[in-house]
């Protein structure tokens, strides 16, 4: 859900929107800065706003002067180098650029926030027909108060199961039909469904758009209040760039129900309210949409480097991207959301890294290093997780832990990742009673030096994982099991893996209704190799240097073990216990096969004789009973014997079929002689 993008590109350039007039000033900013107003401080500490040929405002209070300049409708405002104190929040209007001179321009936040971009809710009307995901036409009670191009917020009383966050989203109106009371939203349609029975409402927004704050440093006067650098509410296209923010109480940047905006190239640290559990670099709340946080650094924050969540008001965060950021001693937290992406981020020396309860979480090309807890873990009600191309190093907890409260997830993929020195599991997953997961794919990963079982996948009660693929992974030096999936009830495919040096009870354990274990290489394990607790096919595998049974088929039925190679295993190559209707065919055995089930088929295995044929010659000695020896690995269940010499041609029959010999008994003794009695024979351990 929520993967449809809108018609406005997040990275829409805003420079063409702002065309400031040239300021002629004797102060540090020159013609090349192309601004409308220059804010500067004289030697006496008075703040001035120079606007071309006139001074717009002068005052001892920075907030008053800047607000006066903004009120004139300027497009571009430059703040000279120096230290300024924002005693009150400065409200920025649409189409305003505020820029400093880098860290030479410092804004001390003495109020709640330095710069605020604040839109408002306006007229509202109820929908009159249910809406589905992807719909772009909305029927309402009265459309006359809305305008084409206006931003609207669609809300509902329906809430998420986790944290009771209401569903809602912001769109731009592409058309308004007052006669039929219909509104058309931006291309791509709705991201969710809305019902009249849930009191779905369309709110008009008086939004603030096209605002840029860049090139300055924000500091807090103290950390005993919820102070922030920049906040935006009901805004569109807000960009905070090249700023440093620290010693604040709440957040560096907070976007609330704001869309198509970004935070980029910023550094945020030492943020946190001493009286409460807050302190964020970037906070994204309620119906935020298409937000990019990129190329920024977060460290030494009281709570999270970035957080995504809700105030239980406007709606669900959607289409959030964190790209090329660095998190030091801080994590990224997602309480609720639609699609949230982490692309190319670095998490180092923290308690954890990503905690996500988004419907869809996509993590690509990220680095996790030196963590004291799990790198990626779940909260809330996720539906999809993708982890691709990531590097995990020196993790004191688990690599990926999706173990608790996973009642909604449909699909999970871990691919192309490199895990090294993970003290606990690389991946742990459990689905609760009564739920179904469509697909889990773990493919193309490297896993080395894991302190316990590498991958654990479990079902509880009547739950079901429909399809599990574990393929093309390279696993070495695991203190437990490489893959523990013996409780999975659906289809399990273990394909093309190379596993070595495992110390668990098994290398791989599968229990699906339909298992396919094929073309794997299992080497050097201290206990058993493969545990099979469900039907299926085990074929084309190589098992080398095991200290116990290579394949254990345990209390199941319908397993075919065929065309596998076993080398230097200490237990049985194939050990069947209490299983029926199985077939063990065409394997290259080293230490034998143990199968007592009468319904099982064992044949044509190299190193395990199930069929022999040839001739046997002995001497007539006046007796009627003779023993023909054989090398079958088991009793001869089928025995054909015929005379190959004249003295053997009397009337006889097969009188006994044993583990070492087959007996024939004549009606009368063959003639005495030396090597005169010869039989041909064909013996088998099976009858069909």
Over the stretch 661-682, which tens digit does the pLDDT of each residue have?
Answer: 999 999 999 999 999 999 999 9
CB atoms within 10 A of CB 337: 27
- Segment 328-338 mean pLDDT: 93
pLDDT, position 407: 72
pLDDT higher than threshold 70 for residue 536: yes
Annotate 38-77 with three-state secondary structure: EEEECCCCCEEEEECCEEEEEECCHHHHHHHHHHCCCCEE
Of the pLDDT bands very low, low, confident and very high (cuts 50, 70, 90), residue 278 is confident
Better pLDDT: 408 or 275: 408
527-541 in b/e form (b: 16+ CB < 10 A) is bbbbbbbbbbbbbeb
Of the pLDDT bands very low, low, confident and very high (cuts 50, 70, 90), residue 32 is very low
Better pLDDT: 103 or 201: 201
Mean model confidence pLDDT for the chain: 91
Of the pLDDT bands very low, low, confident and very high (cuts 50, 70, 90), residue 23 is very low
Of the pLDDT bands very low, low, confident and very high (cuts 50, 70, 90), residue 24 is very low
- Segment 25-38 mean pLDDT: 61
Looking at the chain, the whole-number percentage of residues with pLDDT higher than 70 is 94
Give the span between the Cα atoms of 662 and 224, in whole angstroms: 95
Of the pLDDT bands very low, low, confident and very high (cuts 50, 70, 90), residue 609 is confident
Better pLDDT: 631 or 417: 417
pLDDT tens track for 188-198: 899 999 999 99
Pairing relationship of beta strands 652-657 and 661-666 according to DSSP bridges: antiparallel
pLDDT, position 349: 94
First to last CA, the chain: 55
Of the pLDDT bands very low, low, confident and very high (cuts 50, 70, 90), residue 405 is low
- Segment 295-313 mean pLDDT: 93
pLDDT, position 126: 97
- Residues 313/166, Cβ–Cβ less than 8 Å: yes
Give the span between the Cα atoms of 619 and 603, in whole angstroms: 33
pLDDT, position 622: 94
Of the pLDDT bands very low, low, confident and very high (cuts 50, 70, 90), residue 277 is low
Give the span between the Cα atoms of 433 and 558, in whole angstroms: 27
pLDDT higher than threshold 60 for residue 3: no
pLDDT, position 30: 35
pLDDT, position 427: 96
CA atoms within 13 A on the CB side of 20: 28
Q: Which of 112-116, 272-276, 484-488 has the highest mean pLDDT?
A: 112-116
pLDDT, position 685: 83
pLDDT, position 187: 83
Looking at the chain, the whole-number percentage of residues with pLDDT higher than 90 is 78
Task: Supply the DSSP symbol for 32.
Answer: G
pLDDT, position 275: 63
CA atoms within 13 A on the CB side of 161: 12
pLDDT tens track for 638-660: 999 999 999 999 999 999 998 89
pLDDT higher than threshold 90 for residue 597: no
pLDDT tens track for 99-154: 998 889 999 999 999 999 999 999 999 999 999 999 999 999 999 999 999 999 99
- Segment 401-406 mean pLDDT: 78
pLDDT, position 2: 37
- Helix then strand count (H, E) for the chain reads 1, 69
pLDDT, position 369: 97
- Segment 554-559 mean pLDDT: 94
**Predicted model pTM:** 0.88
Using CA atoms, how far residue 661 sits from 136, 610, 629, 656, 679, in Å, is 83, 14, 4, 8, 14
């Amino acid at each position: 859900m929520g993967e449809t993008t809108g018609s406005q590109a997040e990275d829409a350039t805003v420079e063409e929107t702002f065309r400031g007039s040239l300021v002629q000033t004797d102060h540090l900013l020159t013609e090349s800065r192309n601004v409308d107003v220059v804010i500067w401080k004289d030697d006496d500490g008075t703040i001035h706003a120079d606007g071309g040929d006139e001074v717009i405002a002068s005052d001892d209070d920075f907030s008053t002067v800047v607000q006066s300049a903004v009120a004139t409708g300027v497009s571009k405002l430059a703040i000279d180098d120096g230290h300024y104190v924002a005693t009150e929040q400065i409200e920025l209007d649409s189409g305003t650029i505020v820029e400093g001179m880098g860290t030479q321009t410092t804004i001390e936040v003495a109020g709640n926030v330095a710069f605020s971009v604040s839109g408002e809710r306006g007229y509202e009307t109820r929908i009159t027909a249910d809406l589905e995901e992807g719909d772009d036409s909305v029927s309402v009670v009265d459309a006359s108060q809305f305008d084409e191009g206006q931003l609207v917020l669609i809300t509902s009383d329906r809430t998420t199961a986790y944290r009771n966050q209401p569903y809602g989203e912001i769109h731009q109106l592409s058309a308004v039909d007052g006669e039929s009371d219909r509104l058309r939203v931006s291309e791509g349609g709705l991201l969710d469904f809305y019902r009249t029975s849930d009191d779905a409402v369309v709110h008009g927004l008086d939004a603030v758009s096209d605002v840029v704050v860049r090139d300055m440093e924000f500091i807090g006067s103290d950390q005993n209040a919820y102070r922030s650098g920049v906040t935006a509410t009901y805004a569109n296209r807000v960009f905070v760039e090249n700023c440093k923010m620290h010693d604040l109480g709440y957040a560096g940047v907070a976007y609330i129900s704001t869309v198509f905006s970004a935070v980029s190239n910023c550094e945020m640290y030492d943020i946190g309210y001493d009286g409460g559990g807050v302190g964020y670099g970037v906070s994204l709340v309620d119906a935020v949409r298409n937000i990019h946080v990129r190329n920024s650094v977060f460290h030494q924050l009281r709570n999270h480097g970035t957080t995504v969540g809700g105030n239980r008001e406007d709606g669900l965060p959607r289409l959030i991207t964190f790209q090329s950021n660095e998190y030091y001693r801080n994590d990224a937290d997602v309480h609720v959301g639609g699609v949230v992406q982490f692309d190319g981020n670095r998490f180092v020396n923290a308690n954890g890294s990503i905690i996500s309860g988004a419907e869809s979480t996509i993590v690509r090309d990220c680095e996790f290093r030196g963590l004291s807890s799990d790198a990626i873990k779940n909260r809330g009600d996720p539906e999809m997780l993708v982890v691709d191309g990531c590097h995990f190093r020196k993790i004191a907890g688990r690599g990926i832990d999706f173990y608790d409260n996973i009642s909604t997830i449909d699909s999970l993929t871990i691919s192309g990742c490199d895990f090294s020195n993970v003290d606990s599991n690389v991946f742990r997953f459990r689905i609760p009673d009564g739920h179904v997961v469509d697909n889990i794919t773990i493919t193309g990963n490297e896993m080395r030096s894991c302190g316990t079982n590498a991958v654990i996948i479990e079902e509880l009660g009547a739950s079901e994982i429909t399809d599990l693929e574990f393929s093309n992974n390279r696993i070495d030096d695991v203190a437990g099991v490489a893959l523990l999936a013996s409780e999975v009830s659906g289809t399990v495919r273990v394909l093309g893996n190379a596993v070595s040096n495992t110390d668990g009870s098994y290398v791989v354990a599968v229990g699906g209704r339909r298992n396919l274990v094929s073309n794997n290489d299992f080497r050097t394990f201290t206990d058993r190799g493969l545990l099979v607790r469900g039907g299926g096919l085990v074929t084309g595998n190589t098992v080398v240097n095991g200290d116990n049974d290579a394949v254990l088929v345990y209390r199941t039925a319908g397993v075919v073990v065929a065309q596998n190679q076993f080398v230097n295993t200490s237990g049985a190559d194939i050990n069947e216990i209490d299983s029926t209707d199985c077939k063990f065919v065409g394997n290259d055995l080293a230490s034998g096969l143990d199968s007592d089930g009468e319904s099982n088929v064992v044949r044509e295995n190299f190193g395990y004789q199930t069929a022999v044929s040839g001739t046997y010659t002995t001497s007539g000695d006046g007796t009627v009973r003779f023993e023909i020896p054989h090398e079958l690995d088991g009793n001869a269940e089928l025995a054909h014997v015929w005379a190959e010499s004249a003295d053997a041609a009397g009337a006889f029959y097969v009188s006994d079929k044993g583990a070492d010999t087959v007996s024939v008994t004549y009606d009368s003794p063959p003639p005495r002689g030396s090597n005169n009695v010869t039989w041909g024979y064909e013996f088998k351990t099976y009858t069909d």
